[in-house]
Structures are given as C-alpha cells and as structure tokens.
Amino acid sequence: MAHNLHMENEKASMFYVGSKPWHNLGTKLDAPATAAEALVAANLNWKVVKVPMFGIINSSVIGSDKYGIVREDKIGKSECEIFGVVTDAYTPLQNTEAFDFFDNIVGQGEAIYHTAGALGKGDKIWILAKLPGEIKVKEKDIVNKFLLLSNGHDGNTSVQIKFTPIRVVCQNTLNMALSGGDKTLSIPHQKNLHSKLSSVADILGIIKAKYYDLETLFINMAEKTLNADEVTDYFNAVFPLPTKLNTEAAEKESRQIEKLRSESQVYFLKGKGNEQEGIKGTLWAAYNGVTEYIDYHKNLRQTTDRTKYLLFGAGSDIKERAMEVAKGLV
C-alpha cells in the first residue's frame, strides 16, 4: 500500500508529534511545533509562482493566457514540475500563508501544530493544528479541538478547512462539517482569496460557535443509552447496503458492508474508552466505535493513499455520516 507522501531527497515531506505514523516516515518532533518550525520540519518552506505557458502539453494546446504553477526554488532545474495550468485569475495560497491563517485566528503562538505535510508531487498540502481549550464528555472523556486545513497548488483544489476534534483516550479523529450540510469551509483560488481568509472575526466566530455546539452534541450523545435494536439501526444507517442487489459486484459490496457493521459494533462494545462508566452502551460509544475502526483497524490494502482516505476521502466521509446519523438520534 502506497503512502503517497511527497518524497524529496529520499525524505518524506511531513512532520508529526507523538507515535510514528503507520508508514514510519516523516520527521518526528518531541513537542508540538510553532508555524516556523512546522514549515521547516515538513519541508514546506518554499513558494509557488505562476509562469507563462505556450505550447502543447499532453496533446492539449496551451495558450498564451495560461500559466503553469511551479515551485519557485525549482525553476531552471531538471526536477521542476508543473503542478497545474491556470489562468491569470488564479491566486496561489503560499504554505507560509496557510500557517499564518491559524496564527491570525487564534493568536500568534497559540495554535499548536501537530502534523503537516505534502502529498503527491508536493501539490497537495495539509496542516493539523490544535486550538486552545477542550471538550469534556462526562467530565472525564476529553476531546481536543483541532482544525484541519488543506490546500492544493494544482489549479483545481480549493483551500478547505474542517473541524477534526481528536478524542484523547483513543486518538480517534472525529471529522466534522463546519456548518449546515457542508463538509468543509471551502475557498476557491480567486482574486478575493486572501480577503476571505482575512475575515478573522467571522471565521473565529464560526469556530467558537461550532465547538460550543459540538460540546453540547457530544454530551447529549453520551446521555443517550441505546438498546439492542437501536444499536443495529445505527450501524445499518451508517453503513447502508447498495440499492441494487442483483449483481455480483453488489453482493460483494454487501458482504463488505456487513463486515463494516459487525466490526464497528465490536469497538462500540470494547473500543478504547467505550467501557468507561457513563460511556458504555451510549450513542457516543457507538459513534466512536465507527471512528476507531476506520482510523485504526479497517483493512486498507486496496487504498493507495491512506492519509487522503482518512482525512479527506472515503474514511472521512464515513465518519461524517456517522455523526449525521447520531445527530438525528439526539
């Protein structure tokens, strides 16, 4: 299974705090980093620029009004790669500016960086930062507040920000939508990119309100005890069967879904922290049964990019669906 981390000089462009990631790559730091430390440790201390293009690439005619996005420090070198082709309206967000976003909304030095890195050719960037404060469920089950920012230098990927609280007892990542039915706060790379990101008061207000709502929701989930039928209904809703069952592919998918349901129920009963008094048998335990299974136990041999799967892809989608189903029950 490939990790898809960007490699440069045989070194992964990523840093982390704590235990080694599943791929055993990246730079380990003994303590959470400042923005400046994180940029260097994750090898993200470079800029992208737009360079004029004219010619043919991959059988497509590139006009004089098109620009290629490249790393500034690679221009003129054999390893220089074009991340994407864009128009003049495209506005890059530099890696340093992505970190500045966190420092600006919570105060210089207050955001604590736990991991950051680059995927693929270096064109996909992510930053996970811990924010001040914590959520207490039943006064003993602690959830730390994190924000995940992702950015693409490929010309197609917007700047995206999502809540990713982490449950301390098991380190489950609890991916959340920021508002309404939206999975992320998404800002396109348009001329007004920086002005939107600089709306500090508005964004900080969203963050505070959302985490207040999440604390109330988590507590309510821990107050709701599920009977056997409700447990079954919950996992059936989180992992729905395919609508068409009369094909070999659908039958195979159904077997996989049944396994997801049964394995998640195991962690509902015996997952880390789920046997605590006041947590056992609750909707909160059921939800964390899903997140623990997806984060740590699901067989991902068919997944070529685990980081993307867990933070942005299907794994993230499953956890968000688990939360939406839980909301409907409280």
Q: Which amino acid is at 204?
A: L
- Mean pLDDT highest for which of 107-116, 231-240, 253-262, 295-304? 231-240
- CA distances 65 to 33, 126, 220, Å, are 40, 30, 55
Answer whether residue 83 shows pLDDT above 90.
yes
In the 3-class helix/strand/coil scheme, how is 84-139 assigned residue by residue?
Answer: EEECCCCCCCCHHHHHHHHHHHHCCCCCEEEEEEEECCCCEEEEEEEEEEEEEECC
- Token couple for 126: 């992510």
Would you put residue 95 in left (φ > 0), alpha (ψ -120 to 50) or beta?
alpha
Among 96, 73, 69, CA closest to 157: 69
Would you put residue 118 in left (φ > 0), alpha (ψ -120 to 50) or beta?
beta
- CA distances 312 to 51, 160, 250, 267, 305, Å, are 29, 10, 25, 23, 10
Split at pLDDT 50, 70, 90, the class of 201 is low
Burial class of 25 by CB neighbour count within 10 A (0 to 12, 13 to 18, 19+): middle
CA 61 to chain centre: 35
- Token couple for 231: 């447990």
Answer whether residue 176 shows pLDDT above 90.
no
pLDDT of residue 211: 85
- Token couple for 94: 């530099």
Average pLDDT of every residue of the chain = 83
Q: Lowest-confidence range among 165-179, 223-237, 239-253, 294-308?
A: 294-308
Answer whether residue 190 shows pLDDT above 80.
yes
Q: What pLDDT, in 10s, does the model give residues 16-27?
A: 887 776 567 889
Element (H, E) at 310: helix 306-311
| Arithmetic mean of pLDDT, 35-46 | 91
Q: For the chain, where are the E strands, in sequence order?
A: 7-8, 11-12, 14-17, 27-29, 48-57, 60-71, 84-86, 112-119, 124-137, 141-152, 159-163, 166-167, 172-173, 185-187
Answer whether residue 303 shows pLDDT above 80.
no
pLDDT of residue 22: 55
Who has greater pLDDT, 104 or 39?
A: 39
Answer whether residue 160 shows pLDDT above 90.
no
Owner of token pair 């900080």: 204
pLDDT of residue 111: 67
| Arithmetic mean of pLDDT, 236-258 | 85
Answer whether residue 31 shows pLDDT above 90.
no
**Buried-exposed string 203-239: b where 16+ CB fall within 10 A, e elsewhere:** beebbeebbeebbebbbbbbeeebeeeebeebbeebb
Answer whether residue 81 shows pLDDT above 60.
yes
Split at pLDDT 50, 70, 90, the class of 179 is very low
| Arithmetic mean of pLDDT, 156-182 | 75
pLDDT of residue 61: 55
Answer whether residue 297 shows pLDDT above 80.
no
- Mean pLDDT highest for which of 192-196, 227-231, 257-261? 227-231
Number of H-type helices and E-type strands within the chain: 9, 14
| Arithmetic mean of pLDDT, 76-87 | 89
Answer whether residue 214 shows pLDDT above 50.
yes
Answer whether residue 302 shows pLDDT above 50.
no
Split at pLDDT 50, 70, 90, the class of 102 is confident
In the chain, what percentage of residues exceed pLDDT 70?
Answer: 84
